Structure 1
């Protein structure tokens, strides 16, 4: 008797499990798509706030980052750069020293995570109606301080200089007379130095315009009427702080140019100065941003002991003792292409040590002045030692090193080296130091409690 039972052999359909899996994952994928960051709602606000000032058609950034079409092709590179904390440029060591700055453009961990997640999810555009308003962009033809202070009281110009195309970096040092712009000693409120527009602003890497005069006693006095660097804005002194200048003297222009692919003819750097009203005398007098060397010589720029052998890492320290109390408002390291790290440490008269600021990813392409928040700015008693430590990396591991086989000495070219920093510093009387210390303690107590 035949059984009615028959075993049916079917054909295996490989698409069915995949279809089933897709059906199971559809709700999850839909939710993930909804929660993935988009350019319009999540990424553009970060780029507009942190990047657009350089990454615009007239900025120094290599590409504009103002709309989705601009940004989409660079999504992967942007993700890499922000994860490495190479962009935006903020080279401070986040594990030590003061971390409160007025001009901090670094990204938070959350902002970095947003950009990375956006790039990894395919860089979706999102709803264009969610875009924030286009940011107000700086204009290289205008003084940036003018937005806050109005037109400058006077502007001085360097002699013209032609920067050759695709050449080595070049220094331009000249003196010009300072006469007829003020008729009595006046206090400076702010200064700004920039290259001429439109090409001078692209080749001026950093520079100084220093006014040297004689005071009423016939003593030589000097101070900056402009300091510039890529990534550094003008200098605005705190309310009640000013720099005294005199009616006649000489301006020394010390300008460092990095050539571009075209010749820049008759570039004339300009320095603008904003003054306090006539007759005004501020509570605090400063000489502006000042030079501090990190070498074992007498403290001058021409340190003879700076020598980097091939394929080596070297550090050097210098110590300067404050013979008066002082308030430090900004920190600007300066080395060249082999520079890797530089730090400023305070050793107090009681022996206590405090790291004030340290850059651990120094990059000579940028000349950033790190401006301390008011109640974080170092307020230092007389007798404090400032310990300045510079570290150079003359090895192949340094991506900025043009040739690790070379012996490197001090020099003005980018391929040579330097070892100093610039501090925004105001020296104080003992009474002023005690007053500022008490006022700061009162503010911090009010904020944080006793």
Structure 2
């Protein structure tokens, strides 16, 4: 919406949505856990009150001459990361796939070779995945591009060179952190397409990669956003023991013990239509518990990665247990529930369910951990600048 005439008919709906904190999409529980995020788009109480007051006073038009210039909006053909980092260093394309006009969800899983793109080991700074413009960006529901690479002497490295979902376009690692890739390897494409009543022929999703300069070695090496399941089954990866009876609310936990120190930079819950809440809690080796983050208004439409501010990003010692708790609402009170009368099990479709978390996590050596802890304590004890 770019004008008063476009906004005015929706004024009351806008008021309701911002009061319920459904828009802008920011679904964190504001009463617990870390509250400082790099990508926080939520409104303050004062901003919400301003909108509500405007609507209740009849939604009058202000002075058109006082309007700020219109923003330059992307049409989906360019890379979002390019605004910060310039053009990508290289772009990889998935094999072509035709999406039927009318069908069920469709998945395209294929491997492609990674050869001749780089000529030496390099560190990745940022990645982005998207469908091709104009129709591919509409049919790509979400996707992953995973690179498994190796050096000439057999050393291996693996990690994502692109993850995409509504509300998530790409990943940029913190300054001084990078993901190592080698010149030879294979890319696994896992793409979920959803028909749009129009055939899309030979769609080729694209993964863009931004590299650190040649010869640069970051202080911290990461494997990018990693998968953590909330699964009660022994060793299961995908929470395949999900079973939701009709008209039920159910919770499930998964626990992962860190075998080395780690820094968590982002938290991205993943469930489907019945998902209502997910939390990330740390249980420290000394028994202390800390709620790191909790989403209490989950909406499957928005796959948001909540990016912790540098000074508060969880810095966890070896032996810490990460407890992931998921809650589903399979009742008629859930407005996103397509049918509360159904039994629901694990599955890839939106009407099925999942339960896992994507964490931006960087594993640390003991020395790196101790150094970061000391730096954070020093920063917290430093006098604050004031007027």
Task: Give the TM-score band, short-chain normalised.
Answer: over 0.9
Match of 1:206 in 2: 142
Q: Assess if the C-alpha contact under 8 Å between 1:204 and 1:256 holds in 2.
A: yes
Residue matched to 2:193? 257
* Residue matched to 1:98: 34
| Residue of structure 1 in register with 2:265 after alignment | 329
Deviations along 1:359-402, one digit per CA (max 9) or x if unpaired, are 11111111001000010110001110000001111111111111
Inter-partner Cα distance in structure 2 for 1:394 and 1:353: 29
CA contact (8 A) 1:223 1:287 kept: yes
Instruction: Tell me, in whole angstroms, the C-alpha distance in 2 between the residues paired with 1:275 and 1:429.
Output: 24
Change (3 A) 1:401 1:147: same
Measure the CA separation in 1 of the matches of 2:193 and 2:8: 33
SS at match of 2:382: helix
State which of 231, 235, 249 in structure 2 corresponds to 1:295: 231
Residue 15 of structure 1 corresponds to which residue in structure 2?
Answer: none
User: 2:178 — aligned with what?
Assistant: 242
The equivalent residue for 1:309 is 245
Q: For residues 316-371 of structure 1, what are the alpha-carbon distances to aligned partners after superposition, in whole Å with 9 as ceiling and x for unaligned?
A: 00100001000000000001111110110000111110000111111111100100
Question: Which of 22, 25, 38 matches 1:89?
Answer: 25
The alpha carbon displacement at 1:96 in A equals 0.7
Instruction: Please tell me whether the aligned partners of residues 206 and 367 of structure 1 are also in contact (alpha carbons under 8 angstroms).
Output: no
Q: What is the aligned counterpart of 1:391 among 319, 327, 331?
A: 327
Bigger relative CO (Cα 8 Å, ≥ 6 apart):
2
> Over the residues paired in the alignment, what is the CA RMSD in angstroms?
1.5
Change (3 A) 1:119 1:263: farther
Distance (whole Å) between structure 2 residues aligned to residue 303 and residue 103 of structure 1: 29
In 2, the alpha carbon distance for the partners of 1:345 and 1:166 equals: 42
In the superposition, the TM-score normalised over structure 2's length comes to: 0.96
Contact 2:238 2:355 (C-alpha < 8 Å) held by counterparts: no
Q: Distance in 2 between matches of 1:279 and 1:378?
A: 30
- Which of 305, 308, 315 aligns to 1:369? It is 305
Whole-Å Cα distance in 1 between the matches of residues 242 and 156 of structure 2? Answer: 30
Alignment match, 2:202? 266
Give structure 2 stretches of 5+ with no counterpart: none
Q: Alignment partner for residue 137 of structure 1, among 73, 80, 84?
A: 73
Q: Is the 8 A contact 1:170 1:413 kept in 2?
A: no
- Which of 317, 321, 324 is 1:381 aligned to? 317
For residues 395-427 of structure 1, give each alpha carbon's deviation from its aligned partner in whole angstroms, at most 9, with x where no partner exists.
111111111121111111111111101000000
Deviation at 1:219, TM superposition (A): 5.7
Higher relative strand content? 2
More divergent stretch after superposition (206-215 vs 76-85): 206-215
Please tell me whether residue 280 in structure 1 is matched to residue 179 in structure 2. no
In structure 1, list runs of 5 or more residues that go unmatched: 1-64
- The one of 334, 344, 347 equivalent to 2:283 is 347
Distance verdict in 2 for CA 1:438–1:204, change over 3 Å:
same
For residue 251 of structure 1, report the CA deviation from its aligned partner: 0.5
> Over residues 142-175 of structure 1, what are the superposed CA-to-partner deviations in whole Å (9 max), with x where a residue is unaligned?
1111121111111001112222335332222111
Q: Which moved more, 1:162-171 or 1:204-213?
A: 162-171
Q: Please list the CA deviations of residues 89-133 of structure 1 after superposition, one character each: whole Å capped at 9, or x if unmatched.
A: 111111111110000111111111111111111111121111122
Equivalent residue for 2:2? Answer: 66
* Secondary structure of the corresponding residue to residue 368 of structure 2: helix
Greater share of helix: 1
Contact 1:293 1:299 in 2 (8 A): no
Q: Is the 8 A contact 1:206 1:256 kept in 2?
A: yes
- Aligned with 1:227: secondary structure? strand
What is the CA distance between 1:217 and its match in structure 2? 6.0
Which of 194, 219, 222 is residue 130 of structure 2 equivalent to? Answer: 194
What displacement does 1:225 show?
A: 0.5
Q: Looking at CA atoms only, which structure, 1 or 2, has the larger radius of gyration?
A: 1
Aligned length: 385
